[in-house]
Amino acid sequence: MSARAPPPPTMPESDWAVRRIRKELKLLWLDPPAFCRPGPAPVTDPFHWEVVIDGPDGSPYSGGTFPVDVAIPKKYPMKPIKLTFKTKVYHPNIGPEGRMALDIFGEWWSPAITISTALLSVVSVLYDPVLDLPVRRDAALQYRHERGLFEQKARRWTRRYASAPVASFCPAAPGKELLEEAATSGAVARRRSCGAGKWRFFAARLLAI
């Protein structure tokens, strides 16, 4: 009786995570979420890098530039990412140390959530804070009962701590296969966020080759 063949080697969790993160990064910079763009330095560690959120129009954070630290666990996507603002932000869901505290980064995390959708959630919360479980109770109470004073303070903090411009390090143009994937999904044509115009220019040129 012949010996049973050994099972094929399995890929370590961290390798799976790196593959997914790299794919997400390419799509992220090809089709950035609204008001998001690459950080000031190239990504050298897939598990730790930086993104910039430009304060969304119509919010007290408009005109501000917010570098955000992105920390990704080795067991991603089974474990949630961590987003930390590197400047002070007066907001009910952003702690004194800059940590973004939302349920999707805890018990409501799902492997289906991508880095891009997580960033979109953050931008959405800058417009409309989640007041059920605030990390800054003082800001939440003021937002609920004295909205005008809250917005004045949020704007004042934005001018004081987030007025310095931050230039993005733009990655090289993505490959044709990735551009076709994004174009087929309608993503390239759909976005009107910061930086998307440049990627649409690359897409139009490369897809025409």
Provide the residue ranges of all domains of the chain, joining segments of one domain with +: 32-163
5 confidence band (pLDDT: 50, 70, 90): low
Residue predicted with more confidence, 45 or 174: 45
Tokens of 175: 């490959």
- Does residue 102 register a pLDDT over 60? yes
- Dihedrals φ, ψ of 207, to 5°? -70, -20
191 confidence band (pLDDT: 50, 70, 90): very low
Residue predicted with more confidence, 31 or 156: 156
Question: Cβ-count burial of 169 within 10 angstroms (0-12 exposed, 13-18 middle, 19+ buried)?
Answer: middle
Handedness of CA 121, 123, 124, 126 (dihedral sign): positive
Superfamily of domain 32-163: Ubiquitin Conjugating Enzyme (3.10.110.10)
- Does residue 208 register a pLDDT over 60? no
Residues in contact with 46: Cβ distance below 8 Å, sequence separation at least 6, in sequence order? 17, 18, 21, 22, 25, 72
- Does residue 183 register a pLDDT over 70? no
Question: For 7-11, what is the mean pLDDT?
Answer: 47
Q: What is the pTM of this model?
A: 0.77
Kindly report the average pLDDT of the chain as a whole number. Answer: 82
- Does residue 207 register a pLDDT over 60? no
* Lowest mean pLDDT, pick from 48-57, 142-151, 181-190: 181-190
> What is the DSSP-derived secondary structure letter of residue 103?
G
Distance (Å, whole) CA 170 – CA 204: 17
